[in-house]
Chains A and B, each alone.
Chain A
Amino acid sequence: MSYFLDPCIPLGNIDGAWERIQKSLPYISLGNKNKLQIVVVGGGLAGASAAATLAEQGFPVKLITYNDSPRRAHSVAAQGGINAAKKIREDDCDGVNELFVDTVRGGDFRAREASCRRLAEISSSIIDQCVNQGVPFARDYDGLLSTRRFGGALVSRTFYARGQTGQQLLYGAYQSLMRQVGSRRVELLPRRDVIEFINLNGVIRGVVTRNLLNGQLEVFQAHAVILATGGYSNVYFLSTNSIKSNASAVWRAHKQGAFFANPSLTQIHPTCIPVGGEYQSKLTLMSESLRNDGRIWLPRRSHDIRDPSEISESERDYFLERLYPSYGNLVPRDVASRRAKELCDQGFGVGNDGRSVYLDLRDAIQKKGAQEIKAKYGNLIEMYERIVGEDPMTMPMRIYPAPHYTMGGLWVDYNLMSTLPGLFVLGEANCTVHGANRLGANALLQCLADGYFIGPCSIHSWLEGHTFSISSHEMDQACQDALENTKKRIDDLINVQGEIPVDIFHRALGEIMINRCGITRNESGLLAGLEEIKLLKQKFHHQVRIPIEINCPNPELEKALRVADFLELAQLMLSDALSRKESCGAHFREEYQTPEGETMRDDENYAHIAAWEYVPGSEPIKHLENLSFSLLKPNKRSYQ
């Protein structure tokens, strides 16, 4: 049975709704703020910015991260840039409306309109905030901020710091955070894994962590918990995410009652360094910004094993430019990924196993000069050369799509609160504006909007009603229960003492997920995937081997806890993909496509966010948040 969810969108015109909400927020006195404890899990862009901002407002904050320092959170790896509707010059034609429209369209009308609107409205203040913190964005000749163009957009609105935008934005947030740590308003708790939640009568009141240095389980109580734990595309084993990125915190919250929204909507990024061989541990992204100057092509002849330099112009197929004349190489990521996969499936692919396409800087180098290209993409060029051992200035790069960004996540309302009262979810871990195929360079924007502006405001309404002390006999019991559950889970895993290391299971899981729930999906594949995962999960719980010592660092145990959660999440992803009988953005069900091979959306039956409720020992229940669009009429996505 399905129920309908209320996203708590403000009444009236959504244009400017956020401003109205801010004006009506309750006032909490400093005295009361001091008594309220907030726990933030995650020190990435969303978590660090939220913790710093809440501490500035006067709340005592604890920040928990498994990294040894928040500066190492996965956000540091974002390369390309951050979108903002910020007018730099008088004649700029971009504005809030344009970014809003591109975001909703990029989301293929599967994102919440009011949240997309708010994102576009806040975007400009984010750039102001970051510049003020010392983020060294690229500048034009006249000293003003410089922008570049990203996929899915017709205007240049992406702000950047070479290929290291995420790093620079994160350092801005991290430095603000460390300033608060220094003034003792934030307590920093690094090298700790959140593995359970304290649930007091359906309200989240804290977390249980495992201290990664000594294995101790610790309890942190709170009046509100903010999860900013990032994405889960490591369910595919090989992905562009940092190795330790995981789904455990969101999955544990889900098992406590937080609904999981659109879990199968994974963005596959078209420009990654392809798989090189066995034991490869991750895939490296080559920023989409390269598509500004790089041209994507394949030989016109299939199984053509000649060196690219021997393939003449007339023998090359610049397939994106051919198929999509106005967007060309800058079509959205799902479209670029699908076209690359299809051609490789048909035997036109290049590289060792025919699973790559060329991304060629040759023409840009000829036109603009090697120096300009190196200045623009320097670190990406070096990175490719180090990994592959070839110089992209003289040889085209070989790239292939890879799992990158997860658009699903815990369902949150307009205030970013999950279906578990007291638990807020920010950044990539939630599912607000992503829809089916978010716009490139919007993820960083969303993390910072959530962390600097939205979360720290909207949490006030919750806290206002919870200024009382949370210590009680009942609370002690809830903590004890959570601790015992956690201890049992760890003991069960350690006691298996089988003969197979965790990574082998993780790799097998990744293989199933990419084949069954990757760039394209179909019913029979998804059903087969469900069976495969069921077997793999059984095998894992009977045969995994983890070193026994638990009172010291034990990275294998860390991995095993994560893989156990990934295995369960994978089942939900497959079920979600099965139940969405349409193609929208990155979710491409082969049964639902136009004669031209483009996605075929079904607005009549699937204009909703699917939010799944966990039911112990039984199938999950699907709830719907119906999506309606007042400022923009759903229309066909066309990038011709």
Chain B
Amino acid sequence: MKKISLVFRIWRQKSQLSKGQFVEYTLKDLSTNLSLLEALDKLNEELILNGDRPINFDHDCREGICGSCGFLVNGQPHGPKDATTICQLYLRNFKDHTTLTLEPLQTKTFPVIQDLVVDRSSLDRLIMSGGFCSDDVGKAPDANFFKVNQTDAFSSFQTATCIGCGACIASCRNASASLFVAAKLAHLGQLPQGQLLRSKRASQMKHQMLSEGFGSCSNNLDCEAACPKEISANWISWMNREDD
């Protein structure tokens, strides 16, 4: 089993009100089979043993699907590997003795809670503003009433895979939520059952983006590069035509 040593430069901030700073930690003899989060678990165990406060970071499924994890590794949301969430980032992707700078996905719409944890509830409010189909339970027609060809079903599915991690927003210099919103609009807008509210949904979600303080899209495609689910920025142009 290969082993490496890494230096972690980590943003420490006790609470929203306190000031933060970077603190450096060195970890030796790390198996390259560990994930980056498992390395942080190990570091936390050492911190607790020393009587220090462990590092707080969000995580849950550790399978790349819940969207909880996510911070910047050397300036990149979810780190250097394409199409990979941070919990799926393994140490075999790093060279021995590298320094990794870890900092929160900080934008004004994602205030820091503690260390690497931020508040992403603005994304829930975007969905709340219109990201749904609106029939009540028990009123659904037979599922085969809607026929959907395979291409449309798959295309809708691909946009539906957005995990709401917010990496697109943290990578954008304008903090635009366009990719996240476009993904939801395209997911529902490509299916027959999403047609009824299609333009209303688009205008409400776009309006909500503005009122949450997200910036506008200036097409620099950083969002697409950061997205762990490889959602294409073409959907943003698709969205821009939606409620006209």
Which residue, A134, A178, A383, has most C-beta atoms of chain B within 10 A?
A: A134
Query: Which chain B positions have C-beta within 8 A of A279?
Result: 31, 34, 38-39, 41-42
Query: Which chain A positions have C-beta within 8 A of B75?
Result: none
Query: Which chain B positions have C-beta within 8 A of A156?
Result: none
User: A137 to nearest B CB, angstroms?
Assistant: 7
User: A472 at the A/B interface (Cβ < 8 Å)?
Assistant: no
With A76-B65, A279-B38 as known contacts, state yes or no: A134 contacts B191, CB within 8 Å.
yes
User: B173 at the A/B interface (Cβ < 8 Å)?
Assistant: no
Question: Among residues 172 to 198 in chain B, which have CB atoms less than 8 Å away from a CB atom of chain A?
Answer: 187-188, 191, 193-194
Asked if A282 and B62 sit within 8 Å, CB to CB, the answer is yes
User: A589 to nearest B CB, angstroms?
Assistant: 32
* Among B118-126, B209-217, B236-244, the stretch in contact with A: B118-126
Interface residues of B, count at CB 8 A: 78
Give B122-156 as 1s and 0s: 1 = Cβ < 8 Å from A's Cβ atoms: 01100111011111111111111011111001101
Asked if A176 and B132 sit within 8 Å, CB to CB, the answer is yes
* Among A32-40, A196-204, A545-553, the stretch in contact with B: A545-553
Asked if A69 and B191 sit within 8 Å, CB to CB, the answer is no
With A131-B193, A243-B60 as known contacts, state yes or no: A501 contacts B48, CB within 8 Å.
yes
Which residue, A132, A133, A143, A188, has most C-beta atoms of chain B within 10 A?
A: A132
Asked if A243 and B146 sit within 8 Å, CB to CB, the answer is no
Query: Which chain A positions have C-beta within 8 A of B113?
Result: 213, 553
Query: Which chain A positions have C-beta within 8 A of B164?
Result: 69, 71-72
CA distance A504 to B46 in the complex (A): 12
User: B15 at the A/B interface (Cβ < 8 Å)?
Assistant: yes
Which residue, B56, B117, B136, has most C-beta atoms of chain A within 10 A?
A: B136
> Per a CB cutoff under 8 Å, which of B15, B56, B64, B124 touches A555?
B56
With A162-B157, A556-B48 as known contacts, state yes or no: A132 contacts B124, CB within 8 Å.
no
User: A116 at the A/B interface (Cβ < 8 Å)?
Assistant: no
User: B68 to nearest A CB, angstroms?
Assistant: 5
CA distance A68 to B92 in the complex (A): 30
User: A190 at the A/B interface (Cβ < 8 Å)?
Assistant: yes
CB closest chain-B residue, reference A276: B33
* Among A10-18, A122-130, A318-326, A522-530, the stretch in contact with B: A122-130
User: B18 to nearest A CB, angstroms?
Assistant: 9
Give A167-210 as 1s and 0s: 1 = Cβ < 8 Å from B's Cβ atoms: 11001001110110110000010100000000000000000000
CA distance A511 to B45 in the complex (A): 19
Asked if B62 and A281 sit within 8 Å, CB to CB, the answer is yes
Asked if B1 and A68 sit within 8 Å, CB to CB, the answer is no
User: B92 to nearest A CB, angstroms?
Assistant: 6
User: B159 to nearest A CB, angstroms?
Assistant: 9
With A69-B124, A71-B67, A76-B65 as known contacts, state yes or no: A133 contacts B149, CB within 8 Å.
no
Asked if A145 and B124 sit within 8 Å, CB to CB, the answer is no
Which residue, B120, B141, B154, B157, has most C-beta atoms of chain A within 10 A?
A: B157
User: A354 at the A/B interface (Cβ < 8 Å)?
Assistant: no
Asked if B60 and A133 sit within 8 Å, CB to CB, the answer is no
User: A93 at the A/B interface (Cβ < 8 Å)?
Assistant: no
With A386-B84, A386-B90 as known contacts, state yes or no: A74 contacts B60, CB within 8 Å.
yes
User: A317 at the A/B interface (Cβ < 8 Å)?
Assistant: no
Give the interface size bracket for A toward B: 35 or more
> Per a CB cutoff under 8 Å, which of B44, B128, B142 touches A182?
B128
Asked if B54 and A556 sit within 8 Å, CB to CB, the answer is yes
Query: Which chain A positions have C-beta within 8 A of B148?
Result: 136, 139, 143
Question: Among residues 26 to 49 in chain B, which have CB atoms less than 8 Å away from a CB atom of chain A?
Answer: 31, 33-35, 37-39, 41-42, 44-45, 48-49
User: A144 at the A/B interface (Cβ < 8 Å)?
Assistant: yes
CA distance A179 to B48 in the complex (A): 42
User: A140 at the A/B interface (Cβ < 8 Å)?
Assistant: yes
Query: Which chain A positions have C-beta within 8 A of B83?
Result: 382
> Per a CB cutoff under 8 Å, which of A77, A280, A503 touches B61?
A77
Asked if B124 and A161 sit within 8 Å, CB to CB, the answer is no
CA distance A39 to B120 in the complex (A): 24
CA distance A242 to B120 in the complex (A): 20
User: B203 at the A/B interface (Cβ < 8 Å)?
Assistant: no
CB closest chain-A residue, reference B66: A72
CA distance A335 to B140 in the complex (A): 38
Asked if A68 and B160 sit within 8 Å, CB to CB, the answer is no
With A162-B157, A386-B90 as known contacts, state yes or no: A145 contacts B143, CB within 8 Å.
yes
User: A313 at the A/B interface (Cβ < 8 Å)?
Assistant: no
Question: Among residues 203 to 249 in chain A, which have CB atoms less than 8 Å away from a CB atom of chain B?
Answer: 213, 242-244
Asked if A161 and B121 sit within 8 Å, CB to CB, the answer is no
> Per a CB cutoff under 8 Å, which of B62, B139, B153, B188 touches A137?
B153
User: B123 to nearest A CB, angstroms?
Assistant: 7
CA distance A377 to B88 in the complex (A): 18
With A76-B66, A142-B147 as known contacts, state yes or no: A387 contacts B132, CB within 8 Å.
no
Give A550-591 as 1s and 0s: 1 = Cβ < 8 Å from B's Cβ atoms: 001101100000000000000000000000000000000000
Asked if B128 and A133 sit within 8 Å, CB to CB, the answer is no
CB closest chain-B residue, reference A143: B147
CB closest chain-A residue, reference B162: A171
CA distance A176 to B138 in the complex (A): 13
Asked if B120 and A136 sit within 8 Å, CB to CB, the answer is no
Asked if A167 and B65 sit within 8 Å, CB to CB, the answer is yes
CA distance A449 to B164 in the complex (A): 26
CA distance A144 to B42 in the complex (A): 49
Query: Which chain B positions have C-beta within 8 A of A136?
Result: 148, 153-154, 156-157, 160, 187, 191
Query: Which chain A positions have C-beta within 8 A of B139?
Result: 132
Of the A-B pairs whose beta carbons lie under 8 Å apart in the complex, a sample of 9, sorted by A's number, is A69-B121, A72-B67, A130-B143, A143-B149, A179-B128, A276-B33, A281-B35, A453-B137, A545-B48
Known: A72-B164, A76-B61. 9 other contacts (CB 8 A): A53-B137, A73-B66, A128-B141, A133-B193, A164-B65, A178-B124, A547-B48, A553-B56, A556-B54
A residues apposed to B, CB below 8 Å: 49, 52-53, 56, 67-69, 71-74, 76-77, 86, 88, 125, 127-134, 136-145, 161-162, 164, 167-168, 171, 174-176, 178-179, 181-182, 188, 190, 213, 242-244, 276-282, 284, 382-383, 386-387, 389, 452-453, 456, 499, 501, 503-504, 545, 547, 549, 552-553, 555-556
